[in-house]
Chains A and B, each alone.
Chain A
Amino acid sequence: MMKKILGVLVALLVAFGVFSIFAGADEATTAPAPSPAPSAPPAAAGKPAGSVYYLNFKPEQAQQWEALAREYTRETGVPVTVRTAASGTYEDTLRSEMEKPDAPTLFQVNGPVGLKTWKNFCLDLRDTALYANLKSDDFALIDDGQVLGIAYVIESYGLIYNKDLLAKAGYSADDITGFASLKRVAEDIQARREELGVLGAFTSSGMDSSSDWRFKTHLANLPVYYEYKQTGLSTSEAIQGLYLDQYKNIWDLYIHNATCEPGLIGAKTGDDASSEFILGEALFYQNGTWAYDELISGGMRDEQLGMLPIYIGAEGEENQGLCTGSENYWCINKRASQENIDATKAFLEWVITSDTGRDALANQMGFVTPFTTFDQDYTARNALLDDAQRYIAEGKQSVSWTFPTMPSDTWKDGVGAALLEYAQGTSDWENLRRAFVDGWAREYNAVNR
């Protein structure tokens, strides 16, 4: 009898163990952030001045943010904590951090869709220095007349290419002016890959979660952008998939002219692609200005790097530039204490107006910012950003970032899974069409119920 009771107790204990994992704000599942030690101690007792806690989205710049926070604390004595969520876990981390008594005072949303979740936490930023110095309302998330989020970095992405290798193959960037010429060049390189000493024209289109966003989100931006352009919309409850054939064009080109067989991309990671590019095993690498630091620290030189628009075969694409926009909006947590809100506002003002702050953002982190305070001396420059500027100067039309209007992450996952299955040959393009078109309507309804 005793044993039986014990057994039941053990069963309950184990089951409770299972359950409590999912019962809310527990650390075990939500703290995968490899955040190095917080750069400043949490608010010391007896300090009336308040403190700042920034939950940073960009792992690439984690160390620079921590250094900047330390500098601010040294100058003003106000403690600033910076934590960085691991790639792809920002929403999870934010959700559990928000539960804590000392929740982030400064956090990020990715655009209108992300704002929906966190709207009730966002302070109106209209009377802040941040908004006063913003170049245009295009860079703000405005909802019911309230400025709830402000973009702090403008980024571009496209096809990063290796100039040396392209020249070795007998081409230059001027030869690529549309999808047809891109295809011709890429297929020629792929055919001559042994002669050229490369493994493929394109780096592997990895569908591991460290890399799949390049295709399920960034590449999917193009068909959505062209559809919006054709229908005159800027956001949509339902998408028709008018440019899915072109999406297929570019995806086929990527997977069949790459460093690996299409069936293997399920196991390829973001690091695989960047190291293939750095090692000169492939000529084209779809990524953005944020990848610059990684490429340079991998041993590449500025002169080797350039960025081309991603051509998919849409009409009028000879005038297409890079994809430029932002999915990084600062929001101040209005549920934080007044001292902490004030401290956060002061910190942000310092970041965009002081020499130290501007130097850190523009020159060290390499951010192109939408603030008027960043003049000549504080303009980020590197090979990729220069290319982005050049296309604008030539009068090319930048492709705006439409992915903040994609209905949900589940939609993106569905598209990503369909891309993978198509590449593996376990499913066809119709499956992708369903994930793209039907999935959009379904997710839109699921999220906006």
Chain B
Amino acid sequence: MNHAIRRYWPLFVLPTVLAFLIGFLAPFLMGLYLSFCQFTTVSDATFVGLDNYIRAFTDPSSNFLHAMWYTALFAFLSTAVVNLAGLTAAVCLTRNIRGRNLFRTVLFMPNLIGGIVLGWLWQVILGGVLARYGKTLVTSEWYGFFGLMLLTLWQQAGYMMIIYISGLNAIPEELTEAASIDGASPWQTFLRVKLPMLMPSITICTFLTLTNGFKLFDQNLALTNGAPSGRSELLALNIFNTFYGRIGWEGAGQAKAVIFFLIVTGIALLQLRLTSTREVQH
């Protein structure tokens, strides 16, 4: 068996490698090239150098810098809120309470609904609430911002909760028992024993929420579509609108996508480094 795997491993890897090449690597390299080009359809491009990058940053109508800080703010805030909520729910639902599984299921379910549907759902709900006060989601970019936060929290907290629950369940009982014998309060046990043991889960969860925050697209599209005046546009939507919405700006949109890639990769790697050094092995 082992022998067969050693011998035929390229065959087993082939489907994944092919999918990776066709689905990720080829479009990625093509996109990289296109970010230096002027084009209408992607197979018909002329090289223009750094022009697209300059336009992405300097043109006042490109809205890229605004989208950048708006997205960063959103990503970091939503990471904090979602993880706090997920962890709290996980701690509550690992106790022995009635209907534990029901609560877990209910909290997890929003994650099964697609982003566009969620966006429209929340648009109706929040729109209905705000209408009482003579406002709409697009009255200013901050209504859209908090709408998105609420939506993201609702959608992702349940998912993170599941990861935290499995992390909490994996903590060996002798550790918590030893802590209580030593006279640690529940709060101390949580901070000094459980939390360090949870670091691998925290790494994964913060990684997921942070990158999700940066990549958020369909919820943004459905909830506000960038209104008013593109000020509630997150990066992904901004790139999409530049690429598809503006004649002659396809290259600039592509350039933005390259920058976006660098930012997301950079932040994700940095975050992985920061949290994984705090992980404890036992």
Contact = CB atoms under 8 A, between A and B. Distances in A.
B193 interface: no
Contacts of B261: 15, 18-19
A25 B41 CA distance: 8
Contact of A117 (B127, B131, B247, B260): B247
Contacts of A408: 246-247
Size bin of chain A's contact surface? 35 or more
A279 interface: no
B264 interface: yes
Nearest to A418: B229
A4 B230 contact: no
Contacts of B30: 23-24
B248 A446 contact: yes
Tell me whether chain A's interface is mostly helix, strand or loop, or mixed.
Answer: helix
B134 A25 contact: no
A17 B240 contact: no
Interface stretch (A135-143, A230-238, A420-428): A420-428
A22 B239 contact: yes
Contact of A443 (B42, B61, B140): B61
B168 interface: no
A449 B54 CA distance: 14
Contacts of B27: 19-20, 23-24, 26
Given A22-B243, A207-B227, A443-B61, 7 more contacts: A3-B276, A18-B236, A24-B30, A99-B42, A267-B137, A420-B138, A426-B139
Given A18-B264, A98-B41, A266 B137 contact: yes
B139 A25 contact: no
7 nearest interchain CB pairs? A23-B31, A23-B27, A417-B229, A22-B257, A266-B138, A24-B42, A266-B136
B59 interface: yes
A184 interface: no
B34 interface: yes
B65 interface: no
25 contacts: A4-B272, A7-B276, A8-B269, A15-B211, A15-B264, A15-B268, A18-B260, A18-B264, A19-B260, A23-B31, A23-B34, A26-B27, A98-B41, A99-B43, A117-B247, A120-B40, A264-B131, A413-B230, A420-B138, A420-B228, A424-B136, A424-B139, A424-B228, A442-B61, A447-B247
A410 B245 contact: yes
Interface string A41-64: 000000000000000000000000
Given A11-B269, A426-B228, A116 B134 contact: no
Contacts of A442: 60-61
A275 B249 CA distance: 37
A11 B60 contact: no
Contacts of A266: 136-139, 227-228
Contacts of A25: 41-42
B244 A30 contact: yes
A284 B229 CA distance: 28
Contacts of B240: 22, 29
A414 interface: yes
B215 interface: yes
Given A99-B43, A424-B228, A12 B139 contact: no
A298 to B, nearest CB: 22
A438 B202 CA distance: 49
Given A22-B254, A23-B31, A446-B59, A11 B272 contact: yes
A197 interface: no
A409 B276 CA distance: 47
Contacts, number: 161
A289 B237 CA distance: 34
Interface in A388-437: 408-410, 413-414, 417-418, 420-421, 424, 426
Contacts of B183: none
B211 A14 contact: yes
A20 B23 contact: yes
B253 interface: yes
A16 B138 contact: no
A417 B245 CA distance: 15
Contact of A12 (B135, B239, B265): B265
A12 B34 CA distance: 20
B28 interface: yes
Given A19-B257, A20-B28, A99-B43, A263 B139 contact: yes
Contacts of A439: 61
A264 B254 contact: no
A73 interface: no
B272 A417 contact: no
A386 interface: no
A92 interface: yes
A381 interface: no
Contact of A421 (B228, B239, B253, B265): B228
A8 B269 CA distance: 7
Contacts of B225: 209
Contact of B228 (A13, A98, A417): A417
A16 B21 CA distance: 11
B229 A263 contact: no
A317 interface: no
Contact of A23 (B139, B227, B245, B257): B257
A14 B245 contact: no
Contact of B229 (A23, A209, A261, A414): A414
A17 B24 contact: yes
Interface string B87-112: 00000000000000000000000000
A100 B272 CA distance: 40
A20 B31 contact: yes
Contacts of A95: 40-41, 244
Interface string B180-195: 0000000000000000
Contacts of B43: 99
Given A4-B276, A19-B31, A263-B139, A91 B227 contact: no
A266 B59 CA distance: 27
B28 A267 contact: no
Contacts of A19: 27-28, 31, 257-258, 260-261
A191 B245 CA distance: 41
A210 to B, nearest CB: 11
Nearest to A424: B139
Nearest to A118: B40
B163 to A, nearest CB: 14
